[in-house]
Structure 1
Amino acid sequence: MLLENKIIYWNDLNSIQQKNMLLRPNIQRNHVKQVVKDIISDVRNLRDEALQKYTNKFDNVQLDSFKVSQDRINKSEFLVDEEFKKSVLLSFKNIYKFHSKQNMNMIDINIQTGIRCQQIVLPIESIGLYVPGGVSPLFSTVLMLSIPAVIAGCKNIILCSPPPIVNEILYVAKMCGINNIFEIGGAQSIAALAFGTETIPKVNKIFGPGNVYVTEAKLQLNQLLTDLSIDMTAGPSELVVIADHSANPIFIASDLLSQLEHGYDTQVMLLTCNHMIAEKVLTEMNKQILNLSRKSIILSALENSRFIVTNNLIDCIGISNSYAPEHLSIQTENSRYILSKVLNAGSIFLGHWSPEAVGDYISGPNHVLPTYGSAIVSSGLSVLDFQKRISVQELTSVGLKSVSHAVMCLSMVEKMDAHSNAIIQRMNFIKNRYED
């Protein structure tokens, strides 16, 4: 047995032990802070020269140009499998259909006579998309980042990914209408997008997951620059499964294993009120893991993972809400009822026939999600993240007069007499005009 003695009986634990069971893997960022700080400084001062240095150092590649030629982008269509193209097209259609409904409506309302207020929605003009390389190039992330950016109306979209960029990424980017593609990865690419270099344009917001160096670069640059924003800080991937007696252990085991292969620091959790389900899931995982190519990654990630048996489903829901998972799979008899009790989750997969793997690629909602408990206050990526909202207020003289006394009263209470003066000057002008 590869997995033994993993089942935890929740109600046998004291409150401190229960709290410890919900701890995430510790992300050690201290050792990368100075490294990233130095990279940022180099890129800011030396620009493309620094990018060449770090690309050679970290990727073992010497590039003549960071920008991928349009010819190479166009040729990618003939260098990928036809079955891949058909699958990507289905994914594109579903993701586009879902995200196209996320555009926020303009607001234009007459608050009262003579006071008109609006909210206009504009795209962020220049954005950067980061697509990780690593063990496998994540072409699915190109879809999840590019589609909402295009729907939002962003004019200047820059995509960066570590070299060599595979044809699958180039093809998907082309399908999404992205042609400004640069072969540059790591913290140095984030710095390049933040400052701009001789070849890479500066952007105003950076999107996309990455390793600890990428995440640290996003954090440092977000604090350093006032004209730069980031989408979110991506931590290790997570999946919680809530299951009852009706669940299929084979399905659950496959879902947990599919999430575990994301990386060594991934964390999965089974929450069930049926100890037989927990035992069967572990048995099934032992069978299925033998045939998986990322077995070593999965076994390492299992050290972070939990298989918890509770007295009832209400306890399972409470644990999940406290943990606030990136992904939540509800595999119960009445999954809609459980859904009504969920307070915190990045994305939810409802019922026995909704594997999280489908959400990574094709069902429609975004797979860039809040991790590490931030689902308590944050949402998954959407079109709204690529837009900004601006309020507009327009008053007539009649409208101003109708609220002038209240504004002067409130501003004087706050001891802001210049605010009152701005009203008085206009009221005097109106009075004098009519007296004349």
Structure 2
Amino acid sequence: MAAAAFKRIDWASLDDAGKREALARPAQRTAADVSDVVRAILDDVRARGGAAVTDWCLKLDKAPPRRIAITPATVADARAALPPADARALTIAAENIRIFHQATRPEDTPFIETTPGVRSKRVWRPIRSAGLYVPGGTAPLFSSLLMLAIPAQVAGVGSRVAVTPPSKDPAHALGVHPAMIVAAAEAGLDALWLIGGAQAIAALTFGVELEDGIIPACDKLFGPGNAWVAEAKKQANALPGGPAVDMPAGPSELMVIVDRDSAPEIAAADLLSQAEHDADAQVILVSTSRATIDYILTEVEAQIATLPREAVARASLAEARAVLVRDLDTACEVANLYAPEHLAIQVEYADELVDQIQAAGAIFVGRWAAETLGDYAAGPSHVLPTDGGARTLGGVATASFMTSMSVQTVTETGAARLAPIAARLARLEGLEAHARAADLRGEG
């Protein structure tokens, strides 16, 4: 059986430019036509509001915007449409996500006295409103709804607006998979808007009035998506007074580091678990052994032929890479250069490599730490930076839905001690009004 068509790369043979090219993201993510169409959609929604959103929904998704109220009756019907084991799995995942994010919610610091009488601390507050984009074009990603809405709830966000593309399955009477409704209920949402693509981001950016109700303009936008959604978030964030965004969260990425002792069937399964997401997804295999690469790619070919989403996975593998490196230290260098959304380390003593990793959205250590566990139920949010964003950004956490402020208190004695220092520094910068404001405190 032939091995899967990964592009094979011998890392030692490349110069710096070649290394960057070898790890380049798929070109379609930043294609000019994506940027131009997204700009047209944002401009149209800014000018015409809800009417433009409706027109783009009808054009692109063949369905108007729709608000699904998360009522007891709606939730009961959705649960009844799911096998009991599926509903139970959703509940367990929601519990784990809530436990993790409650445990990692930032806390106010105690006051820290830097000068006698001068005390400061940092306090945390939830943001006012969050727009939550949940992908759903070719698969209902109810897990992303949990991974966004629950951390926002734990943070205390006042207004959470969740949007997702309408289902194309005629069996879904409400236009959405019942698991999405159950997930919304588990996350404590009161509604779910069926709007997808750049038009959904535009609605969250400007606020619009639609036939089913009002979508308010949101202070910050969250969620992964395809190239159109990622570009819409980028352009919305660049607008004067535009919303903040969580991170570049485009098509999925996975890098798997293996050695001679790795299990080929596990590495292959993990690579395919990301390749089946989207034709734009990218998977990269890094190994110290050419023979191990051969074994794994042969296993990929054996497994892909049995996947229901084989066509999507094969399209993704057109951008896949298999990188041969000299040793595991070099493998870590490759990982840090690429800065993957997901990084699986499937080598002997995998935990010893974690300290060398400086740029990854999430790390899965050892053969038992399947990336799929993190996708659904381990606890941390799976909404992670893509396109190299992990060099400077972390994944969604409770803190992502909060802002921090410093609080400073100064006694008369503290002012007397510190004001002369501040005044001298202000005059050194040529800011006399600053200096006088300090002087007035120091004269007390």
In structure 2, the residue matched to 1:302 is 317
1:196 counterpart (197, 207, 216): 207
2:137 counterpart (122, 134, 137): 134
Quote the offset at 1:4 in angstroms.
5.5
Q: Would you say 1:368 and 2:369 are equivalent positions?
A: no
Q: Would you say 1:187 and 2:202 are equivalent positions?
A: no
Q: Contact 2:288–2:326 (CA<8 Å) still a contact in 1? A: yes
Instruction: Give the TM-score taking structure 2 as reference length.
Output: 0.91
Greater shift, 178-187 or 68-77, is seen at 68-77
In structure 2, the residue matched to 1:405 is 420
Please, which runs of 5 or more residues in structure 2 have no aligned partner?
A: 167-174
The one-letter amino acid paired with 2:105 is: N
Instruction: Give the TM-score taking structure 1 as reference length.
Output: 0.93
Quick one: distance in 1 between partners of 2:330 and 2:227? Answer: 33
Distance verdict in 2 for CA 1:52–1:74, change over 3 Å: farther
Q: Would you say 1:396 and 2:411 are equivalent positions?
A: yes
Quick one: distance in 1 between partners of 2:26 and 2:338? Answer: 13
Quick one: distance in 2 between partners of 1:317 and 1:425? Answer: 56
Give the 3-state SS of the residue equivalent to 1:394 in structure 2: strand
Please, which runs of 5 or more residues in structure 1 have no aligned partner?
A: 431-436
Quick one: distance in 2 between partners of 1:212 and 1:283? Answer: 30
Quick one: distance in 1 between partners of 2:123 and 2:26? Answer: 42
Quote the offset at 1:146 in angstroms.
1.0
Distance verdict in 2 for CA 1:43–1:227, change over 3 Å: closer
In structure 2, the residue matched to 1:97 is 99
Quick one: distance in 2 between partners of 1:33 and 1:256? Answer: 29
Quote the offset at 1:67 in angstroms.
4.9
1:60 counterpart (59, 62, 67): 62
The one-letter amino acid paired with 2:21 is: N
Quick one: distance in 1 between partners of 2:43 and 2:204? Answer: 13
Greater shift, 225-234 or 396-405, is seen at 225-234
The one-letter amino acid paired with 1:32 is: V
In structure 1, the residue matched to 2:170 is none
Give the 3-state SS of the residue equivalent to 2:340 in structure 1: coil
Quote the offset at 1:307 in angstroms.
1.3
In structure 1, the residue matched to 2:122 is 119
Alignment: residue pair count: 428
Q: Contact 1:346–1:379 (CA<8 Å) still a contact in 2? A: yes
Quick one: distance in 1 between partners of 2:10 and 2:442? Answer: 72
Distance verdict in 2 for CA 1:403–1:355, change over 3 Å: same
Quick one: distance in 2 between partners of 1:155 and 1:351? Answer: 39
Distance verdict in 2 for CA 1:224–1:19, change over 3 Å: closer
Quick one: distance in 2 between partners of 1:46 and 1:15? Answer: 48
Distance verdict in 2 for CA 1:44–1:293, change over 3 Å: same
Give the 3-state SS of the residue equivalent to 1:235 in structure 2: coil
Alignment of 1:376-395 (within 5 A): 376-395=391-410
In structure 1, the residue matched to 2:266 is 251
Quote the offset at 1:361 in angstroms.
0.7
Q: Would you say 1:34 and 2:49 are equivalent positions?
A: no
Alignment of 1:146-295 (within 5 A): 146-163=149-166, 164-198=175-209, 199-226=214-241, 228-295=243-310
Give the 3-state SS of the residue equivalent to 2:384 in structure 1: coil
In structure 2, the residue matched to 1:434 is none
In structure 1, the residue matched to 2:358 is 343
Quote the offset at 1:344 in angstroms.
1.5
Quick one: distance in 1 between partners of 2:216 and 2:32? Answer: 30
Quick one: distance in 2 between partners of 1:56 and 1:355? Answer: 39
Quick one: distance in 2 between partners of 1:106 and 1:350? Answer: 31
Quote the offset at 1:226 in angstroms.
2.2
Quote the offset at 1:216 in angstroms.
1.9
Q: Contact 1:349–1:355 (CA<8 Å) still a contact in 2? A: yes
Q: Contact 2:5–2:318 (CA<8 Å) still a contact in 1? A: no
Q: Contact 2:3–2:297 (CA<8 Å) still a contact in 1? A: no
Give the 3-state SS of the residue equivalent to 1:107 in structure 2: coil
Q: Contact 2:248–2:389 (CA<8 Å) still a contact in 1? A: no
Distance verdict in 2 for CA 1:314–1:62, change over 3 Å: closer
Q: Contact 1:335–1:350 (CA<8 Å) still a contact in 2? A: yes
Greater shift, 170-179 or 100-109, is seen at 100-109
Q: Contact 1:260–1:297 (CA<8 Å) still a contact in 2? A: yes
Provide, for residues 361-406 of structure 1, a one-character-per-residue CA deviation record: whole Å limited to 9, x for no partner.
1111211111111211111110110000011112122211111211
In structure 2, the residue matched to 1:86 is 88
In structure 2, the residue matched to 1:417 is 432
> How large is the Cα RMSD of the aligned pairs?
1.9
Q: Contact 2:5–2:317 (CA<8 Å) still a contact in 1? A: no
Q: Contact 1:95–1:365 (CA<8 Å) still a contact in 2? A: yes
Q: Percent identity?
A: 36
The one-letter amino acid paired with 2:185 is: K
Quote the offset at 1:261 in angstroms.
0.7
Larger Rg: 1
